[in-house]
Each structure stands twice: as C-alpha cells, then as structure tokens.
Structure 1
C-alpha cells in the first residue's frame, strides 16, 4: 500500500501501480492528461474504472517534503525546463486544481483560516500573517497546462534528466506559478535553480503567496486524514518561515 485515504488508494505490485478512485471523472482526467502532456509520464497499462494501472517510471524522486534534498542544481533546472515545456503546451479541455477562480480560492482560504484559529490548531498571528502573504496569489492569471499537484516526490530524474512525472489526477488549465510553488514547497532554497531552468520572468511574491495559501488550505485535510503537517520541514514550518 503506497497511500490510502477517503478519496483514493494507490497500491504497488512489483513495477505496477494500481490506483483506485471512486471519482470516475478524476481517473479519466488523469489518463487524458498523461496522454497529452509533452513530458515523460507513466505508461498506462490498463484503465477500467474505478481502477487505473500504470507502470513505474525509472529514476529517483527529486525529493520529499520534510526531508533533505540531494539533487543537484542542474537537476532542479531540468525540472524547471520540464515544467516550462508543460506550461507551453496546448491547453487541455478541463480546469485543473490550479484553475479555481480567485473568488472560490478566497472563500475557501478565509474559511480554513477561521477553522485553524477557532480550533486552536495554529496561533492567530501566524494565520493572519500568512493570510496576508497569500493575497499575492489571488490575482488574475493566464491559464496554462498545469499538473496541479506537482509535489517534489512526483518528479523523477536519472542524474540531471527528468525521466517521469507522476500523479496527474489534478491536471488541467490553471495558474502556472502554482506548479512552481508546489514543487518548491518546503525547499525554498532551490527556487532559483528551478526558475533558471523554467526561464522567463517569475513573480516571486506570487510564489510565496502560493506557499502560504497551499499550506493554510492543506492543514485541515492533512490532520483529518492522518498526516502530520507539523513534521519538520512540512506545512506548518512553511508558514512559520513567513514570519
């Protein structure tokens, strides 16, 4: 068992990963995204809703949230170049996780901030400060082809070459800077290397805004599903860094 929670479960049998998801649309979106993404993705072995079987990708994950990273600056730059290639691709038909409207995000963010303070999960001043930082991400954006859940553990490399990007269930049209922020969440020191490979002008205030917003929005879900956002280097530490 790789991961299991109320939304989906992923199991590994040898070099095959079996994903089971009750949301048929999400599985179908993942298959569509992998087929059209211009970057290395897992091979789809078979697809019979609610299950999807994919082959393991070669290489090693770029890193993991809360753990030291050993990947080179060149590896981060290669990851940035792969993300740029994705963002420059033709738009997919669906809105992705990074495609929610500013109004939807603001309402969800305010609700989660209230929950964090009311339930004593985080100090009010920490929530307030990060809510201010998150505002930078709440602005108009030009939609691109986004991965939508580009965690550091979802990018695989062999040396300095990207060999695969996994977990496309949240892919679709969205804000490209969201992908860059999720990839560097908890590993902020590597943002410069990532952006060097990505190229172009990147608004770092928006990236910082997404770091705060992603962490504020995730903590409630993580706590309820048995994950620990208070672990060293994880979401709560990301919020504390903004102080």
Structure 2
C-alpha cells in the first residue's frame, strides 16, 4: 500500500501525495479554481487533473525530477536549466489570462506593503536594520512599470520538473495570471544565482539583471516573517535570509 506523504502543510492549504496522485486541500476554493483554469491555458506541460471535489483537487504526478530546492544543492545540466528558461519564455509570450496573478500586484500597493513589512522586520527584531535597509534599496529597481505577461507567480525551483534537457511539468499554479515576467525568472533562480546565465540563455532575450536582483531582495523581505510564522525556516543555509545577506 502506498504511504501518505505530506508534501506541504500550513493553515491555508495542504498537499498530500499518495503514490502517483497529489491531493491539494485548500481553504480558499478560488485558488483551486484559478489553478485548474490557468493550467488549461498554459502552453507548457502541467499536471493532469484527475478529479475535483471541493475543497480537494486531485492531480497526477508529472514525470521527471526537480532541479533542486531552495537551501539545497541544485541539480541538472546547463541544458536543463536552459530548457526551463525556454519554457518560461513560451509561457510569458502566451495570450494573457483574464486575472492578475501573484506576480502582478499594483506597484503602489506593493511599495506600501514592502515598506510596512520592512518596518515590522526591524521593529520585531526579526532582521537587523542594516540588512533590511540595504535590501530595501536593492528592491527599489523592481518597483517600476512593466508589460503584463502570462506568469506562473510562484515559480520556485521545486515547481519545475525536467528529464534530461526537457521540461516535463510545471506544478502549483494558484498564483498564476498577468504579471511581471522578471518576477518569475527571479523566483526560479532565487538562491541559485549560479544558474541564471543558463536560464537566460534558454529564455532567449536580454533581461534587466538589476530588476531580477531587486526581486530576489523584495520577495525575500516580504516572505521571511510569513515563513517563520508558518513553521518554515528562512534562516536555513541558502534560504531567504542568506539571499538577503548576499546583497550586503
């Protein structure tokens, strides 16, 4: 009998794996609705939907393996990383979905959220003031006008599966929608800067490296406190706090 593996679990959602089936349980039905809709529109490999019975979505496992995880060693050849970049370019060039995704937040609102979060990080003693101040300066480059693209919105390295030099599946689409393409590139290479050149080579066009670095800082600043409050460790080697420290 297959064992039940808890892939991720916190107060908002949980994902379980039983054999080759993933069961996603989400308190917010709208996130499940978004995930199913955008997977049907995305021009890249996505998991097959097996069935839906709110609040549960059953998905088939995708073949291949991930390129690593944040805080762990990265795997895969330069060709595999380039293939991920090419898949991202195909996604970003696709017709826009109707909704605005996690990578498409209003710049004015995002600036206010970032400033409030930076204040909390320092006031609550989560991070030292000089670290927050420096990364807030770096993050400024991301707070600029951008052309909407079809974005994944949460393209962590663990969400992309490859086999050799081919992308076999991209998972977890609940934050997808219109957004800043460079946010996807930054999220995918967060903590694995050494592979950015390979990803950009596959992406096939010039990108603003200052903006990608800015998104590394901005994303990390915004998520550190949430991670600590939900049982994750952003202070682990190679994770978000180390990303922030690397900007000093």
Establish whether TM, by shorter chain, passes 0.5.
yes
Q: Is 1:49 aligned to residue 47 of structure 2?
A: no
SS in 1 for 2:81: helix
Match of 1:163 in 2: 168
Q: Is 1:113 aligned to residue 118 of structure 2?
A: yes
Unmatched runs of 5 consecutive residues or more in structure 1:
none
CA drift of 1:199 comes to 1.2
Selected match of 1:214 from 215, 219, 225: 219
Match of 2:188 in 1: 183
- Report the Cα distance in structure 1 between the residues aligned to 2:109 and 2:197, rounded to whole angstroms: 30
SS in 2 for 1:229: coil
Selected match of 2:81 from 49, 67, 76: 76
Q: Is 1:149 aligned to residue 154 of structure 2?
A: yes
Q: Is 1:9 aligned to residue 18 of structure 2?
A: no
Q: Is 1:26 aligned to residue 39 of structure 2?
A: no
SS in 1 for 2:103: helix
Q: How does 1:58-97 map to 2 (within 5 A)?
A: 58-97=63-102
TM-score by length of 1: 0.99
Match of 2:144 in 1: 139
CA drift of 1:24 comes to 1.1
Selected match of 2:201 from 196, 200, 225: 196
SS in 1 for 2:15: strand
CA drift of 1:2 comes to 1.1
**Count of aligned residue pairs for this structure pair:** 243
Selected match of 1:238 from 225, 239, 243: 243
CA drift of 1:70 comes to 2.1
- Report the Cα distance in structure 2 between the residues aligned to 1:69 and 1:107, rounded to whole angstroms: 34
SS in 2 for 1:34: helix
CA drift of 1:217 comes to 0.2
SS in 2 for 1:82: helix
Q: Is 1:130 aligned to residue 169 of structure 2?
A: no
Unmatched runs of 5 consecutive residues or more in structure 2:
1-5
CA drift of 1:123 comes to 0.8
- Report the Cα distance in structure 1 between the residues aligned to 2:89 and 2:100, rounded to whole angstroms: 18
Question: Over residues 17-70 of structure 1, what are the superposed CA-to-partner deviations in whole Å (9 max), with x where a residue is unaligned?
Answer: 000111111100000011110000000001222110000000001110011112
SS in 1 for 2:162: strand
- Report the Cα distance in structure 1 between the residues aligned to 2:54 and 2:92, rounded to whole angstroms: 28
Question: Over residues 172-229 of structure 1, what are the superposed CA-to-partner deviations in whole Å (9 max), with x where a residue is unaligned?
Answer: 0000000000000000111010000001120000000000000000001000001000
